[in-house]
Amino acid sequence: MPVEMRMWRIDGDEPMPLVTSRLPAESDLHEFLKRDPSLLGERLLVIGSEVITPHGPRLDLLAIDVDGNLHLLELKRDKTPREVVAQVLDYGSWVSTLSREDVIDIATQHLAQPFEAAFEDVFGSAPPDELNGDLNLTIVAAELDASSERIVNYLRDFGVPVSAVFFSYLEDDGRCYLARSWLVSSDDESPTAAAGNKKSKRAPWNGMDWYVSFGGDRVWEDARRFNFISAGQGKFYSQTIRSLPEGARVWVNVPSTGFVGVGITVRPATRFEEARVRINGQWQPLDGQQLATDYRFATAELDDDDAEWVVPVEWIDARPQSDAYWEKGMFASQHSACKLRQEFTLGRLAAHFNLDDGE
């Protein structure tokens, strides 16, 4: 049966029904969702409104969630159930093919700031490397009829990730209310549609740039002065710093501070007690140098997972921590080292540290 929303106000012991009215214009739903997509029950960032498609009509709203998955929102307006479902599927067939670059291009046209910065404003983190891995289709209506319900449920049975939500507009004593009901929510367990070629949805890696986190109790001035980076005290940290190859370009971030340097690794990682670094052109043991960091935790008795690992670096540009650079939307990770794919961060860093793409 079609979904129906009713509400009552309790006055003493008497339930008083609220009057269900029509929205002044169904297009108001478009503006409500554009301003606050959380009306749908989860945090979303709207990255496109009235999005131009290659096939004619415009897609009402396109949003993205914290995992980088896209949400296509189409208002029913005055379309018949068959028309709106056909349109949603048509739009979905196009959106599922969008590459990471396509998604960012659409967002750039809609947002008043860089996509990465807007993403961090909403979700508190940089966007994931992969965008548009999965797709959710949502029909939004002021009311839902039995025919729409049958079609949506039928498609869901065949694994099509389509949902339907309707909003009731209610009035009571001069106040207006908006109530939401799901026929099928995107949280309900069901198969999700494949989103095309996965390789095109992930930021490409240039084979050279790596992100490095230099944190904990380590003092950045040691690394800057004696030409190295280090990490360890647990498998999570030691195994990633050990993955750095010789000749990698590393961008060093001090957590909660910003990026402080860029350099080229000149040898693979070695344990702290065995590490040698290049000082004034000469290779010298790191242990025994006048370090501000207390490396007493780096002892020979530790196994490799818990040891401190050191990678010698030739700095291209290494600046004092007081000159650290950070911009909203830039990439950060808890890993001590990982591939740096995000174009936004690479572009900002190259400009800040005065590096050309070819360097």
Task: Give a yes or no: residue 287 inside a domain.
Answer: yes
Q: What is the CATH number of the domain that holds 309?
A: 3.10.590
Task: Give a yes or no: residue 331 inside a domain.
Answer: yes
pLDDT, tens digit (0-9, with 9 covering 90-100), for 49-60: 999 988 778 899
Q: Are residues 254 and 183 in the same domain?
A: no
Report how many domains make up the chain: 2
Is the pLDDT assigned to residue 188 strictly greater than 60?
no
Q: Are residues 172 and 255 in the same domain?
A: no
Going by pLDDT thresholds of 50, 70 and 90, the confidence category of residue 193 is very low
**Pick the residue with more confidence: 129 or 171?**
129
Question: What DSSP element (H or E) covers 230?
Answer: strand 228-232
Q: What is the CATH number of the domain that holds 130?
A: 3.40.1350.10
Q: What is the pLDDT of residue 359?
A: 54
Torsion, Cα 338 342 344 347, to 10 degrees, reads 70
Is the pLDDT assigned to residue 297 strictly greater than 80?
no
Q: Are residues 226 and 192 in the same domain?
A: no
- For the stretch 196-199, contacts whose Cβ atoms lie closer than 8 Å and that sit 24 or more positions apart, written own/partner, are 196/96, 196/97, 196/98, 196/132, 197/97, 198/130, 198/133
Where does a domain end: 169, 201, 233? 201
pLDDT, tens digit (0-9, with 9 covering 90-100), for 210-242: 999 999 889 999 999 999 999 998 888 888 999
Q: What is the pLDDT of residue 78?
A: 67
Q: Are residues 194 and 225 in the same domain?
A: no
Mean pLDDT across 171-178 = 75
Task: Give a yes or no: residue 3 inside a domain.
Answer: no
Mean pLDDT is lowest, of 87-101, 153-167, 318-332, for 153-167
Q: What is the pLDDT of residue 158?
A: 79
Q: What is the pLDDT of residue 82?
A: 77
Q: Are residues 79 and 43 in the same domain?
A: yes
Is the pLDDT assigned to residue 344 strictly greater than 90?
yes
Q: What is the pLDDT of residue 180?
A: 76
Is the pLDDT assigned to residue 249 strictly greater than 90?
yes
Q: Are residues 76 and 216 in the same domain?
A: no
Task: Give a yes or no: residue 197 inside a domain.
Answer: yes
pLDDT, tens digit (0-9, with 9 covering 90-100), for 197-206: 443 566 778 8
- Residues contacting 301, CB < 8 A, separation 6+: none
Cβ atoms of 252 and 329 within 8 Å: the answer is no
Q: What is the pLDDT of residue 22?
A: 62
Going by pLDDT thresholds of 50, 70 and 90, the confidence category of residue 108 is very high
Is the pLDDT assigned to residue 1 strictly greater than 50?
no
Q: Are residues 115 and 30 in the same domain?
A: yes
- Residues contacting 332, CB < 8 A, separation 6+: 125, 126, 211, 213, 253, 255
Task: Give a yes or no: residue 2 inside a domain.
Answer: no
Where does a domain end: 153, 169, 201? 201
Q: Are residues 93 and 20 in the same domain?
A: yes
Q: Are residues 197 and 217 in the same domain?
A: no
Task: Give a yes or no: residue 359 inside a domain.
Answer: no
Is the pLDDT assigned to residue 107 strictly greater than 80?
yes
Mean pLDDT across 302-309 = 90
Task: Give a yes or no: residue 86 inside a domain.
Answer: yes
Strongest mean pLDDT among 70-84, 150-164, 262-276: 262-276
Domain of 225? 209-352
Q: Are residues 188 and 252 in the same domain?
A: no
Mean pLDDT, the chain, whole residue set: 85
Is the pLDDT assigned to residue 186 strictly greater than 60?
no
CA dist 77 and 24 (Å) reads 13
Q: Are residues 167 and 274 in the same domain?
A: no
Task: Give a yes or no: residue 357 inside a domain.
Answer: no
Is the pLDDT assigned to residue 11 strictly greater than 90?
no
Going by pLDDT thresholds of 50, 70 and 90, the confidence category of residue 168 is confident
pTM: 0.69
Q: What is the pLDDT of residue 357?
A: 57
Is the pLDDT assigned to residue 13 strictly greater than 80?
no
Q: What is the pLDDT of residue 15?
A: 82
Pair of tokens at residue 252: 């060093």
Where does a domain end: 145, 171, 201? 201
**Pick the residue with more confidence: 12 or 106?**
106
Mean pLDDT across 262-289 = 94
Q: Are residues 197 and 213 in the same domain?
A: no
